[in-house]
Amino acid sequence: MNTITDFLSYPFIQRAFIASLMAGVLCPFVGNFVVLRRMSFFSDAISHSAFAGIAIGAVLGVDLSVSSIAVALLISLLIAFLSEKTTLSHDTIIGIAFSGAIASGMLIIGMLKGYRADLFTFLFGDILAITNTDLLLLLIVSVLSISTLMFFSKPFLQITFNRDLARVEGINVRFFEYLLFLIIATVVTVSLKIVGIILVTSLLIVPAASAKNLASSMKNLFGLSCLFGLVSGVAGLALSIYLNTSSGPTIVLVSIAIFFLTLFRRSGS
């Protein structure tokens, strides 16, 4: 029977584990803001907006990662703009963007001729198909996103808990909200290859929700969420290799198992 060392001799397995480590820190770190601000529907809408970007990239013959990120960023800005300029609720605007992105993506993909295996990598995720370019992109996004959120942690947290007070204290609420929307959109999009469009939101919210069950401070919240994300990514990937199961769903199910363990721990304390 092959050991983990035997599996790690393969370059594609090495890339997969590196990706799970980076995503295991990046997604929960950003996901804390998603959970605290109750933006899970927004992150879900962005992942499906990337579907339209993938379709556009396939039609135009450009890199699918680039096209998906570009469209996701545009949709996130559109949602932020409409939320600010209209009287419609935030959820209503997100729902409109969500529906429009899905419809556009389906319409465009229907125009394609022939079978495109690379589309299914984004739709359903395949961490074993991660390339060196994907790793580099994930690293750059991780460093920039986490550094930005840490450097501006005070205004981001102030806006999260009390927007009006933050505005009174002179914080540019509009700028930081737009910036947070763009960060979430980018993180969601670069994580698509790991678990796919359908499950990518779980990478953000489940470890953060697990940490929220136990954390006694903001510092603990961020630390525990990243720890749970790392364990979920590495353990889920290892299990998927040994059990010969799909890596994305296995990672998510391990993450959900951790969530219930923390929930029972909280209930029992």
Q: All domains of the chain, ordered by start, with CATH? A: 4-268 (1.10.3470.10)
The model's confidence at residue 115, banded by pLDDT at 50, 70 and 90, is: low
Which pLDDT score is estimated for 165?
A: 87
CA distance 189 to 40: 14
Nearest residue to 105 (alpha-carbon basis) of 129, 122, 93: 122
Which pLDDT score is estimated for 120?
A: 67
Per-residue pLDDT of 5-62, as tens digits, reads: 666 778 888 999 999 999 999 999 999 999 998 888 888 888 888 888 888 888 888 8
CA distance 123 to 131: 17
CA distance 249 to 199: 8
State the chain's maximal CA–CA distance in angstroms.
Answer: 64
Share of the chain above pLDDT 70, in %: 93
Q: 78, 104 in Cβ contact below 8 A? A: no
CA distance 117 to 197: 15
- pTM (two decimals): 0.88
Per-residue pLDDT of 157-204, as tens digits, reads: 999 888 888 888 889 998 999 999 999 999 998 888 888 887 888 999
The two tokens of residue 156 are 């981001």
